[in-house]
Amino acid sequence: GKGLRLLGMVVLFLSYLEVRCQDKVHQEEWKVSQVGENCTITCRYETANFYSLHWYRQYLGEKPTYLFQIVSDKVRQEPNFSAELDKKNRSSQLHVTSVEFGNAATYFCALEAQ
């Protein structure tokens, strides 16, 4: 079966949730960014059976919304966001461009393992 590991991140604060013992995800506990700056959120993972990485965003008091999935070592570009995956170093970076107050949210990195 496929396992999913979630990790929460806020532009200012982050939260962490473990789902499977053998698969792990690590991120900074919090991130501060000025309005107009670019912000990079790093997700590091440990797994022997990598399938893909998912990014989610959750605004305070709302349900999480799906941003996108990244499978290969290339840049994924979306409006206001880009993400890259580095399988060799087992990490992914989510880049938020031109941060606004509306970007303040919890950002979840989810590891999908086979």
**Which whole number is the average pLDDT over 35-59?**
87
Q: Which two tokens stand for residue 84?
A: 């890259």
**Residue 95 CB contacts under 8 Å (≥ 6 apart), including other chains:** 38, 39, 40, 41, 81, 82, 83, 84
Which domain does 42 fall in, by range?
3-113
Please give the tally of structural domains in the chain: 1
Give the single-character DSSP code of 88.
T
Against a cut of 0.85, is the pTM above it? no
> Taking a C-beta distance cutoff of 8 angstroms, is the pair 28, 42 a contact?
yes
Residues of the chain with pLDDT > 90, as a percent, come to: 6
With bands split at pLDDT 50, 70 and 90, how would you rate the model's confidence at 84? very high
CATH code at position 64? 2.60.40.10
